[in-house]
Structure 1
């Protein structure tokens, strides 16, 4: 099919037009890089021109309705593939994993946290009626914080008074 065009006619064709002709001529889907190299060779592009145009060509190939990707960057003509066949080639059926039985999962969870469970609102109380885990130091510390907060308030008030003067 490419043989019927002169070198000048091929250079004048668009990259997408050449891609279509190359695919029809080879009668098989091609890797993107292989297809692009054949196109740039026919157009006589320099290495710099190849690098500058590859992204634009890839975008146009994706958008153009004549072409289809078959996965792994292999491109063919959409007219070659019925819709169902193309989906089958690119879609792999996900493998189903065996799920654990709900009972087994729940037992594992219960075993991990069994010793740490304490319901909200329940506290352990010792023989004297004191809550376990709270010692007197914590209470004294809270009182100290209250006194420090009051001192900070006094300092802030003093600073405000000095600014007004």
Structure 2
């Protein structure tokens, strides 16, 4: 077998990857090759012994995987990446970051040593707010500055509810104020 690409070059100077690329380019897109057939063709072209090929095989396979111009097609068949449009390539892409961020975190179950299997007992450790992933939504907590009438209407509805409970007549009663309490408050404020 002769490869036109390497005409006039010394075969001993060629790498197995260069020869593999040339063999696949010469065969064309419709002629993907099994890895073993590709290695056999490389061996025949480079006229290497079985021992030499066996020694170089792990390095060649690693280079074949790392080199961006080759693509595994399944069932240990190989082709050139340039033969396929990007849309046609269905490679499994492994990304560690997506796996870590996308997977929901499992919540650890706390065990209370004092519960002794009593189902009716109250487990106070379940109420720990630090255990919950609480993120308040800012829209719920913000004051509506655009519409101050909302606050006014809330205050009015609150006042009307209080008036239903305590009529205005009861509020007119005089309340005795103990002067001693006021003096104590004044001292605490200073």
TM norm structure 1: 0.50
Structure having the higher helix fraction is: 1
TM norm structure 2: 0.44
